[in-house]
């Protein structure tokens, strides 16, 4: 039987040889390779400055510190995201205001964000920033977020953990722009399953020198200028602590992997795009699924391929589908249980699932299928065949009779597309 893991990083001899070179040359922590990675990454995504750190979570934390987030202030965060996006707000004793998503791309719903801003302002809250997440690697409503930020004087920190690379344009005639162009600071992840990896790692990018300088200093103990050089011949033994910083620097061992991952990034992206297109071809006629689509004027990273189950047409739920896929040797995942449904945010802020109805409704329907650059044709076909088999074996209503005939459990009232059907 074919086993298809949910993810497998694409590591070749280039990465391995570079790590060996680093181990042999003896400079293991932050050094010339981390600096080179910053330079090449900034160039690749057309950003002025890039600060290499040991995770995207660290990058998000440094970004909020650089914009001067204060205790008691609020930051808008989508509910459809990973733990990191909101926890960094809590590091400051500030409050994440969770925002619902839109159904076409699961990205932050700007109209909902504005409703929540107005409600917070009416309670006398201070709102400092918004952290849009580009779900699965597809850039969201940048124009809407920019307008909102302008209207309410918010800083924009993009959680671009899924984007390497990703592009957008404002309309058909506009020029293509890279992820993070409109942000004050954009943050990237090099975690093991992300678009490019260093095992653990991340990058904070910005066009503003004062943010870059502050993040650089705070990423290494708040030590004045180029602290990493203090052990080299050109560095000075003398340094000063200018603020109580953090220990977030990226090692040269990790950067060795990153340099080659970055140089392969276009190729890795091309392969993920191919796989997304294969999924669309092989599953496009399954009426019980909603497939992800690249929105107009977006170039998708395809970090994730998230399908939705039409549960009203199926006799099994998402957990059962995942269990069946697992039995067929297929690794899948769920991105994510919305933050407002996790115990911490429910308890701390009193959220109920229905407070963010779209995220809550999407959650039971979503499954992330395997998508990684080295996945081959047989593997993607196996996933699609198994999924089709599982679905066709558990249909509520025969697709041939367009929802009018019951196959299982007769003598019941069934809801169909045309109303209720008594059998």
Ligand X SMILES: *Cc1c(COP(=O)(O)O)cnc(C)c1O
Contact call for residue 159 and ligand X (CB under 6 A): yes
Task: In angstroms, give the least distance from the CB of 109 to ligand X.
Answer: 17
The smaller minimum CB distance to ligand X, of residues 84 and 387, is found at: 84
Of 49-57, 112-120, 251-259, 288-296, the segment contacting ligand X by CB under 6 A is 49-57
Of 54-62, 232-240, 251-259, 266-274, the segment contacting ligand X by CB under 6 A is 54-62
Of 55-63, 176-184, 280-288, 397-405, the segment contacting ligand X by CB under 6 A is 55-63
Contact call for residue 261 and ligand X (CB under 6 A): no
Pair of tokens at residue 384:
């699609």
Contact call for residue 219 and ligand X (CB under 6 A): no
Task: In angstroms, give the least distance from the CB of 376 to ligand X.
Answer: 25
Task: In angstroms, give the least distance from the CB of 33 to ligand X.
Answer: 19
Task: Name which of 29, 66, 14 is nearest 229 in CA terms.
Answer: 29
What's the rounded Cα separation, in Å, for the pair 363 and 77? Answer: 17
The smaller minimum CB distance to ligand X, of residues 245 and 403, is found at: 245
Q: Which of 96, 132, 202, 258 binds ligand X (CB under 6 A)?
A: 202
Task: In angstroms, give the least distance from the CB of 29 to ligand X.
Answer: 18
* Residues between 267 and 326 with contacts to ligand X, criterion CB under 6 A: none
The smaller minimum CB distance to ligand X, of residues 80 and 406, is found at: 80
Residues with Cβ within 8 Å of residue 252, at least 6 apart in sequence: 22, 27, 28, 29, 30, 31, 32, 33, 34
Contact call for residue 133 and ligand X (CB under 6 A): yes
What's the rounded Cα separation, in Å, for the pair 189 and 407? Answer: 47
The smaller minimum CB distance to ligand X, of residues 154 and 164, is found at: 164
DSSP per residue, 42-66: HHHTT-SEEEEES-HHHHHHHHHHH
The secondary element (H helix, E strand) that includes residue 308 is strand 305-309
> How many residues contact ligand X, by CB under 6 A?
14
Q: Which of 45, 66, 94, 161 binds ligand X (CB under 6 A)?
A: 161
Return the number of other C-beta atoms located less than 10 Å from residue 267's C-beta: 10
What's the rounded Cα separation, in Å, for the pair 176 and 421? Answer: 50
Of 76-84, 102-110, 167-175, 380-388, the segment contacting ligand X by CB under 6 A is 76-84
Task: In angstroms, give the least distance from the CB of 230 to ligand X.
Answer: 27
The smaller minimum CB distance to ligand X, of residues 135 and 351, is found at: 135
DSSP per residue, 262-293: HHTHHHHHHHHHHHHHHHHHHHTT-TTEE---
The beta strand positions in 120-225, using DSSP E, are 127-130, 155-159, 167-168, 177-178, 185-189, 202-206
What's the rounded Cα separation, in Å, for the pair 157 and 280? Answer: 32
The smaller minimum CB distance to ligand X, of residues 110 and 304, is found at: 304
Contact call for residue 85 and ligand X (CB under 6 A): yes
Contact call for residue 84 and ligand X (CB under 6 A): yes
The smaller minimum CB distance to ligand X, of residues 190 and 228, is found at: 190
Task: In angstroms, give the least distance from the CB of 54 to ligand X.
Answer: 8
What's the rounded Cα separation, in Å, for the pair 170 and 159? Answer: 19
What's the rounded Cα separation, in Å, for the pair 3 and 59? Answer: 35
Contact call for residue 191 and ligand X (CB under 6 A): yes
Contact call for residue 246 and ligand X (CB under 6 A): no
Contact call for residue 112 and ligand X (CB under 6 A): no
Residues acting as catalytic residues: 194
Return the number of other C-beta atoms located less than 10 Å from residue 107's C-beta: 24
CB-CB contact of 41 with 50 (8 Å): yes
Q: Which of 4, 34, 51, 57 binds ligand X (CB under 6 A)?
A: 57
CA distances from 402 to 56, 282, 310, 365, 399 (A): 47, 21, 15, 22, 5
Contact call for residue 198 and ligand X (CB under 6 A): no
Q: Where along the sequence are the contacts to ligand X (CB under 6 A)?
A: 55-57, 81-82, 84-85, 133, 159, 161-162, 189, 191, 202
């Amino acid at each position: 039987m074919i086993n298809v893991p949910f993810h497998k990083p694409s590591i070749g001899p280039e990465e391995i040889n570079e790590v060996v070179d680093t181990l042999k040359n003896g400079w293991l922590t932050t050094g010339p390779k981390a600096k080179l990675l910053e330079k090449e990454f900034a160039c690749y995504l057309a950003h002025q400055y890039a600060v290499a750190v040991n995770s995207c979570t660290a990058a998000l934390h440094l970004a909020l510190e650089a914009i001067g987030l204060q205790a008691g202030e609020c930051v808008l965060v989508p509910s459809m995201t990973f733990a990191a996006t909101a926890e960094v707000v809590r590091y400051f004793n500030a409050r994440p205001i969770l925002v619902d998503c839109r159904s076409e791309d699961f990205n932050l719903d700007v109209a909902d964000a504005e409703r929540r801003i107005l409600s917070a302002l009416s309670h006398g809250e201070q709102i400092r920033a918004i952290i849009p997440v580009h779900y699965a690697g597809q850039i969201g409503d940048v124009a809407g977020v920019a307008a909102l930020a302008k209207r309410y004087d918010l800083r924009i920190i993009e959680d671009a953990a899924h984007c390497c690379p990703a592009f957008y344009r404002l309309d058909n005639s506009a020029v293509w722009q890279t992820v993070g162009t409109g942000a004050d600071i954009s943050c990237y992840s090099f975690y093991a399953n992300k678009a490019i990896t260093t095992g653990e790692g991340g990058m904070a990018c910005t066009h503003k020198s004062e943010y870059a300088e502050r993040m650089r200093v705070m990423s290494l103990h708040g030590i004045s200028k180029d602290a990493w050089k203090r052990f080299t011949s050109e560095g000075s033994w003398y340094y000063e602590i200018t603020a109580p910083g953090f220990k977030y620097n990226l090692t040269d061992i990790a950067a060795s992997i990153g340099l080659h991952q970055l140089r392969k990034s276009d190729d890795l992206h091309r392969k993920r795009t191919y796989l997304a297109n294969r999924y669309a071809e092989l599953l496009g006629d399954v009426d019980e699924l909603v497939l992800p689509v690249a929105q107009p004027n977006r170039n998708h990273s395809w970090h994730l391929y998230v399908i939705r189950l039409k549960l009203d047409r199926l006799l099994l739920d998402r957990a059962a589908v995942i269990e069946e896929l697992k039995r067929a040797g297929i690794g899948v995942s769920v991105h994510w249980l919305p933050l407002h449904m996790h115990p911490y945010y429910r308890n701390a802020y009193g959220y109920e699932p229905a407070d963010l109805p779209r995220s809550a409704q999407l959650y039971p329907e979503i499954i992330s299928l395997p998508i990684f650059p080295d996945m081959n044709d047989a593997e993607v076909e196996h996933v699609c065949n198994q999924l089709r088999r599982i679905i066709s074996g558990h249909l509520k209503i025969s697709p041939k009779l367009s929802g009018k005939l019951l196959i299982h459990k007769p003598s019941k009232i069934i809801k169909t597309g045309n109303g209720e059907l008594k059998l």
